[in-house]
Structure 1
Amino acid sequence: MDTLNSANTTVFTVVAALVVSGLILLALQMKKKSDRRWRRINLPPGPRGWPVVGNLFQFASSKKPFFEYVDELRAKYGPIFTLRMGTRTMIILSDASLVQEALIERGPIFASRPRENPTRAVFSCNKFTVNAAVYGPVWRSLRRNMVQNMLGPARLREFRAVRDSAMDRLVGRLRAEAEANGGSVGVLRNARFAAFCILLEMCFGLEMDEETVERTDEMMKKVLLTLDPRIDDYLPILSPFFSKQRRRALEVRKQQLDYIVPLIRRRKTAVETPGSDSTAMPFSYLDTLFDLKVDPASGRKTAVPTEAELVTLCSEFLNGGTDTTGTAIEWGVAQLIANPHVQSKLYEEIRSTVGGGVDGKRVDEKDVEKMPYLHAVVKELLRKHPPTYFSLTHAVTEPTKLAGYDIPTDANVEIYLPPISVDPNLWSDPEKFDPDRHTAAAGKEDADVTGVRGVKMIPFGAGRRICPGLAMATVHVHLMLARMVQEFEWRAYRPDSKIDFAAKSEFTVVMKNPLVALIMPRKA
């Protein structure tokens, strides 16, 4: 959602173009039709908008990040309100009880997705992904395959060696970077690299050298940058002005296909001819997709995915867990530096369970299961720093009501996460980073991250469309944080300086000033 900010500097130009080109007359005609339509339904309250552009101009003129603009409106209109961003109607929810009703109690109704902008549809093969598919047979087929055949506990255990190898590479990179830079390291880029290493090998079942990992990551980042919203996504009438950007998107899609399809074919050959590729692993996510049969009720012409669809599904798998994991680690390390007593307590739990990093016994996943304080730290991290400000957009499968207001099928239902996880009605001293609130002694202070036992924090969404990679993501964050604390003591880059917790939205919510930390190898 906050990528709307990338359009701030162009909105004024767009409005001027509307005026100069004589579109005001058309705007007034469209407004009359729109007003007649919307008067027939009772939408949640919200600021009045301009003809055609809706609230886009007010947002742009505020010169604020989208989440700050939403915060201001929330203070005025309450926990449910409406924004009209061009042709899109957004209904913003920011209250735990409303989210509980929508996503948990009435989950099937709120389980769909809205229409996509044309650029995103190119990369998603017209919603042929787990996250983008509308609620129906395609979504059920894709999600069932991912969860049952790839992300179940037994299957995840098969990739334990991949995770151990990535953790060793992470520690080695941190040591080398610290030695070259007087002890300082960049946290986010190293955490992202480790997460991407894991996902790349899980996806394609092929061992990758560091150069290949980095080239593939650059390709994926190029795709994400291309998906940033443009003004014509909200005002399709302006699409003739963006032909150059559309051509660029098609070029990037071709580059993505040219890069990923050979990896897909290489894996297919390895599966069909065992032993032909010495780097091939026994199993991969891609293997589950080669013979995937999509529910015939979907009306698809082909039952199995095409090569272009395989590229899209692999890209979704890679992108879904890279930035979220890397971001979580960056915020986690920042909190450990700002709260040294938490870092000390966590290290003592690691030492008492497996020993310090110099003892030769590295933390593994079985050890992580025996570390309740580590789990409390990660849960508090996800409460204070959910990966995104907004969960993926929802849409209703049929017209319905919520809080007495109408929710039409073509509205974007946006779940604004931060107010929920810092709600003083749900949490005591919510601004404090306090892992102890999630321990057994905390009682009612603890929370279920899935929202099933009540919505208090939902960093992975909730209900039917909860992130299917939740279990995998938490394994990665727990293991990475444990290894990093076992091997190193983490300190502020400038002694006695305070960590700047200012945030900004990129692909996820990251630190506005990327975290650079000093690391000290642990001593016996």
Structure 2
Amino acid sequence: METCNLILLSLCLPLVLLLRRKGRPGWPQGLPPGPPVFPVVGNLLWLRRSFDDIETILRSLRARYGPVITLHIGSRRAIFVADRTLAHKILVQSGAVFADRPPAAPVVRLLGPSQVNINGSPYGPRWRVLRRNLTAEILHPSRVKLYGEGRGKVLGILLWELRRQAAAGEPVVVVGCFQYAMFCLLVFMCFGEMLEEKAIREIAQVQRDFMLYLGKLDVFAFFPWIAKFVFRNRWRTILELRQRQKDVLIPLIRSRRELMDQGGKNVSENSFQYSYVDSLLDLEIPDGESGRNKKLTDDEMVGLCSEFLNAGTDTTSTALQWIMANLVKHQGIQAKLFEEISAVVGDGGDELREEDVGKLPYLKAVVKEGLRRHSPADFLEPHAATEDAAVDGYVVPRKSTVNFMVTEINLDAKVWDCPMEFRPERFLPGGEGADVDITGTKEIKMMPFGAGRRICPGIGLSMLHLEYFVANLVRAFEWKPVDGEEVDLTGKLEFTIVMKNPLKARITPRHAGDM
């Protein structure tokens, strides 16, 4: 068998290499370079390496093939970009050409048209309507201010839980506290209601169960309609999880619709005046089949609400944990930050308000350095070319998937001095990051939120949440490592790049009244 494979390989490789090198009239070269390709399998490296090692694999391939690499995973072709200048040319200067998304995964398509979201929508009229609604109605600074009371309540919940755990005298594992707090806040903003803990945890559970099981459905990538019958038990399970998600979320949507139909007259003290669901109730989106606009169904709103909750929870709670881990590890940085906070709010136990955040340049530097050093994801969401395009002298064919290596760009030694070090001072006047624009509009030095037309619309909200919660966590507690233990900054992939060993710390209230 091995002999046959070697003979087949020797016959196929010359043809594959010839096709790869063949260019088009007016184009200097073909596809960007990459390792040898074998029919069906794709790149030969998958015969001995797992796709889970993709970031490590690409780092080693970059030295051989350069900053633009083509990989084949089965019959699928993906192009990876690891250079900040090229990323800027593609995402910003040629933004419209690369603003599309690859086709949805087969299992998502099988679940039907109710899987409406912004992030995965093709570049076009529907995407524009949905994104414009989110940015104008929820994420605009004037709207964000409306949820200040909710942020204050969530901060109170978080601080109370941390004090409770600290009072037991044991090290505090913060990851669960951070995730619950961020999810609380997103639920409030989404449904406009300060729900009880039981209801919030039920929503969190159905969301997590559905997302986790989606990750187990790779078998549907090949012949999905056949897989529905071959793996009918898995298909039945995902449909049951989807129905459970609807059973939990649709009553919240309908409750909000009834409130709005009454003119919002019966808003309770636990309700917000405006929510994401409110913005969706009368929204009309283009209907591809009829060519006319139509209102969203309840099922479609479930998809959008689910996206809203997922997008703002794991990324923010992950970034928050990484930042606090570095403050535990680097006591001098924590002390400097606390000194800056005390100079603004005094030595009392008062909460640091949102309007005070703008007076804290070192806080902003700490948050930016946390996002540079520990981006929540190694890659941006995949982009797709809307037409044939040239990148660094190579051809990127229409509909090709283009991926951007965020971590590689954020840690570029040509930009950052000692890039692996956690050094917030680099973002202060005189540092190499003092003029950095994290939106990447002028140039890209780091891009934890992406860049160009598909940049994360929640960038402003995320930065506010991180700055607000980091400042108040440091104001309320002194954070120290557990005796005899080093803070482990090793990461692993889950929904985001999380700490392999979640942060444990000994926290001590800084003010007597906080005991």
TM over 0.5, yes or no? Answer: yes
Shift in alpha-carbon separation, 1:299–1:332, aligned structure 2, 3 A: farther
Equivalent position SS for 2:41: coil
Shift in alpha-carbon separation, 1:330–1:164, aligned structure 2, 3 A: same
**Correspondence for 1:372 among 361, 369, 372:** 361
User: For 1:478 and 1:124, how far apart are their aligned partners in 2?
Assistant: 39
Shift in alpha-carbon separation, 1:65–1:408, aligned structure 2, 3 A: same
Kindly provide the CA deviation profile for residues 89-136 of structure 1, in whole angstroms up to 9, marking residues without a partner as x.
110111101101100110010000001112233568476311111110
**Correspondence for 1:424 among 392, 395, 413:** 413
Matches within 5 A, 1:209-288: 209-228=196-215, 230-232=217-219, 234-236=221-223, 239=227, 241-273=230-262, 274-276=264-266, 278=268, 279-288=270-279
Equivalent position SS for 1:513: coil
Equivalent position SS for 1:520: strand
Question: Would you say the 8 A contact 2:488–2:501 is kept in 1?
Answer: yes
Question: Would you say the 8 A contact 1:87–1:235 is kept in 2?
Answer: no
User: Is 1:415 matched up with 2:404?
Assistant: yes
Kindly provide the CA deviation profile for residues 285-339 of structure 1, in whole angstroms up to 9, marking residues without a partner as x.
1101011122478855651111111000001110001001110111001110111
User: For 1:369 and 1:300, how far apart are their aligned partners in 2?
Assistant: 46
Shift in alpha-carbon separation, 1:76–1:33, aligned structure 2, 3 A: closer
User: For 1:366 and 1:432, how far apart are their aligned partners in 2?
Assistant: 30
Equivalent position SS for 1:467: coil
User: For 2:195 and 2:315, how far apart are their aligned partners in 1?
Assistant: 22
User: Is 1:447 matched up with 2:454?
Assistant: no
User: Is 1:204 matched up with 2:195?
Assistant: no
Query: What residue in structure 1 maps to residue 392 of structure 2?
Result: 403
**Correspondence for 1:491 among 467, 480, 485:** 480
Shift in alpha-carbon separation, 1:350–1:257, aligned structure 2, 3 A: same
2:324 is aligned with what amino acid? V
User: For 1:481 and 1:90, how far apart are their aligned partners in 2?
Assistant: 37
Query: What residue in structure 2 maps to residue 13 of structure 1?
Result: none
Structure 1 residue 49, shift from structure 2 partner: 2.9
Structure 1 residue 403, shift from structure 2 partner: 0.9
2:212 is aligned with what amino acid? L
Equivalent position SS for 1:442: coil
2:316 is aligned with what amino acid? T
Equivalent position SS for 1:501: coil
Equivalent position SS for 1:458: coil
Question: Would you say the 8 A contact 2:36–2:44 is kept in 1?
Answer: no
User: For 1:106 and 1:309, how far apart are their aligned partners in 2?
Assistant: 31
2:195 is aligned with what amino acid? M
Query: What residue in structure 2 maps to residue 8 of structure 1?
Result: none
Taking structure 2 as the reference length, the TM-score comes to 0.90
Structure 1 residue 244, shift from structure 2 partner: 3.1
User: For 1:78 and 1:510, how far apart are their aligned partners in 2?
Assistant: 28
User: For 1:496 and 1:114, how far apart are their aligned partners in 2?
Assistant: 48
Question: Would you say the 8 A contact 1:87–1:234 is kept in 2?
Answer: no
Kindly provide the CA deviation profile for residues 406-447 of structure 1, in whole angstroms up to 9, marking residues without a partner as x.
112232111111111111111112111111110123266541
Question: Would you say the 8 A contact 2:286–2:292 is kept in 1?
Answer: no
2:234 is aligned with what amino acid? Q
User: For 2:126 and 2:407, how far apart are their aligned partners in 1?
Assistant: 31
User: For 1:134 and 1:385, how far apart are their aligned partners in 2?
Assistant: 29
Shift in alpha-carbon separation, 1:127–1:43, aligned structure 2, 3 A: farther
User: For 2:34 and 2:114, how far apart are their aligned partners in 1?
Assistant: 31
Taking structure 1 as the reference length, the TM-score comes to 0.88
Structure 1 residue 355, shift from structure 2 partner: 2.4
RMSD of Structure 2 on Structure 1 (CA): 2.7
User: Is 1:90 matched up with 2:78?
Assistant: yes
Query: What residue in structure 1 maps to residue 27 of structure 2?
Result: none
Query: What residue in structure 1 maps to residue 132 of structure 2?
Result: 144
Query: What residue in structure 2 maps to residue 327 of structure 1?
Result: 318
Structure 1 residue 277, shift from structure 2 partner: 6.0
What 5-or-longer segments of structure 1 have no aligned partner? 1-18, 20-24
Question: Would you say the 8 A contact 1:336–1:343 is kept in 2?
Answer: yes
Question: Would you say the 8 A contact 2:349–2:476 is kept in 1?
Answer: no
Shift in alpha-carbon separation, 1:36–1:298, aligned structure 2, 3 A: farther
Question: Would you say the 8 A contact 1:192–1:322 is kept in 2?
Answer: yes
Shift in alpha-carbon separation, 1:221–1:35, aligned structure 2, 3 A: farther
Question: Would you say the 8 A contact 2:106–2:221 is kept in 1?
Answer: no
Question: Would you say the 8 A contact 1:325–1:473 is kept in 2?
Answer: yes
Question: Would you say the 8 A contact 1:56–1:86 is kept in 2?
Answer: no
User: For 1:375 and 1:178, how far apart are their aligned partners in 2?
Assistant: 27
Shift in alpha-carbon separation, 1:117–1:47, aligned structure 2, 3 A: same
User: What is the number of residues matched between the two proteins?
Assistant: 495
Question: Would you say the 8 A contact 2:325–2:503 is kept in 1?
Answer: yes
Structure 1 residue 488, shift from structure 2 partner: 0.5
Q: Which moved more, 1:31-40 or 1:194-203?
A: 31-40
1:265 is aligned with what amino acid? R
User: Is 1:186 matched up with 2:173?
Assistant: yes
Query: What residue in structure 1 maps to residue 94 of structure 2?
Result: 106
Q: Which moved more, 1:57-66 or 1:252-261?
A: 57-66
1:383 is aligned with what amino acid? R
Identity among equivalent pairs (%): 38
What 5-or-longer segments of structure 2 have no aligned partner? 25-29
Equivalent position SS for 1:65: helix
**Correspondence for 2:331 among 340, 343, 348:** 340
Shift in alpha-carbon separation, 1:125–1:364, aligned structure 2, 3 A: farther
Q: Which moved more, 1:302-311 or 1:438-447?
A: 438-447
Query: What residue in structure 2 maps to residue 14 of structure 1?
Result: none
**Correspondence for 2:303 among 275, 294, 312:** 312
User: For 1:61 and 1:367, how far apart are their aligned partners in 2?
Assistant: 50
Q: Which moved more, 1:221-230 or 1:432-441?
A: 221-230
Q: Which moved more, 1:483-492 or 1:247-256?
A: 247-256
1:200 is aligned with what amino acid? V
User: For 1:223 and 1:444, how far apart are their aligned partners in 2?
Assistant: 40
Shift in alpha-carbon separation, 1:228–1:39, aligned structure 2, 3 A: farther
1:514 is aligned with what amino acid? P
User: For 2:382 and 2:213, how far apart are their aligned partners in 1?
Assistant: 19
Query: What residue in structure 1 maps to residue 372 of structure 2?
Result: 383
User: For 1:511 and 1:297, how far apart are their aligned partners in 2?
Assistant: 42
